[in-house]
Amino acid sequence: MAFVAIFLAALNLRAGIASVGPVLADVLAWYSAGGALAGLVTAMPCFFFGVMGLAAVPLARRVGLSRALLGGMVLTTVGLGVRPWVGSVWAFLVLTACVVAGIALSNVLIPAWVKTHGGRNMVTLMTVNSSVLGLSGALGPLSAGLAHEPGGWRHALFIWVWLSVAQVLAWVIVAWRTGYDFPRSGTRGSGPAVPLRRSPTAVALTAYFGLQSLQAYTQMGWLPQILIDSGQSRGIGSLALSITLVLGILGGLVMPAALARAESPQVYPVLFAALTALGWVGVLLAPSWSVLWAFVLGVGGWSFPTALNLIVVRARDPEVAARLSGFVQPVGYFLAMLAPLAVGFVYRPEMDWTVVILVLAGLAVAKGVVGRRAARPVLVDDELAVARPC
């Protein structure tokens, strides 16, 4: 049941968001909206991931992990089911907020749920979560094929409600069987009195998660448009985004076990950062090779499953893992939202993307620097114990 529940939850973590980018131009035209709205739509996932991330752990402490996850999934289902059919752009934005707010709860709480209930299968469940999350993102853009006529974008966005209904049904059973399941600390040196900002590893992991999410959501929201403005077709733009997200599946399969076995895990963040920077430079200099650069960016995106799994392996105690996830992801997503929001406000049809792409390449280098520090084999529990006042 844990396997089924995590599989269905992960399958819904990106599709409802990644499906928007390829039809964003259609949505803007339908509502007669401009680039500012595009910036809001593409930055909204990061913003609400941050806001709901701050609320996730206190909510789960009150009602339990499984019940909080179920509540978020119901919210996502309502947003996905109603969003495509509203006539107001503001209603569209509100329902998009419902979609991403519900997904945000799952983003933050699933690592803690796995740490609490996974037992000997913890690595397996995190592998399922990371890899299927990548599958969810890869499937999302493919629904753009339904937008072949005016208003067809509505069907491209609505189709994902059925997956969300499936996860709700599964998690009703999980929540009923587990009851209240927020973990209680069993580690004397990891008490909640010590703020996580006192842990250098937690701070570095937050910066790493934020810079990777910045890359991921900029690609998810703008990579197709960047390629279209460089002379590629919308089909090529959608294909390129799907490639980057499909490769996230492989990264999710590989990285949990790789991190568990690695003696020097710091090499992974540096390698993935270099590939991300290379991919952006390639998009700038040779956009006709967009499929190749999408592949490079996709492997560079393995930073994301790396960051997710570091949240679990850098905490010994389940409560510390929950707190770490509730610290890293909200702050990281607030950082991440700045890039797609900024791009939206400067975007003009057929604009020159040179400056934007060079900035993204530079931020990829910064991601490698902080990622190397975050991957050091140090437990946050131990840093908090040292930081505790005498």
**Tens of pLDDT along 297-333?**
999 999 988 998 888 888 888 778 878 888 888 888 7
- For residues 171-179, give the mean pLDDT: 94
Per-residue model confidence (pLDDT) at position 191: 44
Place of tokens 């998660």: 209
Kindly state the average pLDDT of the residues 9-13: 93
**For residues 191 and 340, which has the higher predicted lDDT (pLDDT)?**
340
**Average per-residue pLDDT in the chain?**
86
Residue in the structure block whose two tokens are 């197709």? 224
Question: What span, in angstroms and rounded, lies between the C-alpha atoms of 152 and 186?
Answer: 53
84 three-state secondary structure = helix
In angstroms, the Cα distances linking 210 to 92, 213, 214, 253 are 26, 5, 6, 22
- C-beta separation of 49 from 186 below 8 A: no
Instruction: Give the integer Cα–Cα distance in Å for 152 and 30.
Output: 11
Give residue-wise pLDDT tens across range 210-265. Answer: 999 889 878 877 888 888 888 888 788 878 887 887 887 888 888 888 887 877 88
Q: Which residue has the higher pLDDT, 348 or 376?
A: 376
Q: How much is the average pLDDT of 130-150?
A: 79
Give the confidence band of 193 by pLDDT, cuts at 50, 70, 90: low
CA distance 360 to 201: 24
pLDDT above 70 coverage of the chain, percent: 96
Query: Is residue 157 within 8 Å of 23, Cβ to Cβ?
Result: yes
- How many Å from the N-terminal Cα to the C-terminal Cα in the chain? 44
Query: With bands split at pLDDT 50, 70 and 90, how would you rate the model's confidence at 276?
Result: very high
Helices (H), the chain: 2-11, 15-18, 24-30, 35-63, 65-82, 89-117, 122-139, 153-158, 161-178, 200-229, 234-261, 267-285, 290-300, 303-313, 318-336, 338-346, 354-374, 380-387
Check whether 83 has a pLDDT greater than 80. yes
- How many residues are recorded in the chain? 390
pTM of the model: 0.74
Question: Residue 110's closest CA among 155, 65, 55?
Answer: 65
Q: What per-residue confidence (pLDDT) applies to 185? A: 59
Q: Residue 53 and residue 57: Cα distance in Å, rounded?
A: 7
* Tokens describing residue 45: 């996932």
**Highest mean pLDDT (candidates 78-82, 122-126, 149-153):** 78-82
50 pLDDT exceeds 70? yes
CB contact burial 279-301 (16+ within 10 A = b; e otherwise): bbbbbbeebeebeebbbbbbbbb
pLDDT reported for residue 190: 41
pLDDT cut 90: percent of the chain above it: 35
| From 54-68, 256-270, 272-286, 293-307, the region with the lowest mean pLDDT | 256-270
Q: Dihedrals φ, ψ of 313, to 5°?
A: -80, -15
Task: Please state which of the ranges 145-154, 181-190, 313-322 shows the lowest mean pLDDT.
Answer: 181-190
Q: Which residues contact 6 (CB under 8 A, 6 or more apart)?
A: 110, 113, 114, 125, 128, 129, 132
> Residue 109: is its pLDDT beyond 70?
yes
**Regarding predicted confidence, which is higher, 245 or 153?**
153
Question: What is the structure's pLDDT at 167?
Answer: 96
Asked if pLDDT for residue 144 goes beyond 60, the answer is: yes
Q: What is the CATH number assigned to the segment(s) 2-180+194-387?
A: 1.20.1250.20
Distance CA 240, CA 196 (A): 38
At residue 189, does pLDDT exceed 70?
no
Q: Of 219, 7, 8, 17, whose CA–CA distance to 101 is shortest?
A: 17
Separation between Cα atoms, residue 120 and residue 106, nearest integer Å? 22
Query: Count of CB atoms within 10 A of residue 33's CB?
Result: 16
At residue 168 the predicted structure's pLDDT band, cuts being 50, 70 and 90, is very high
Query: What pLDDT score was predicted for residue 390?
Result: 42
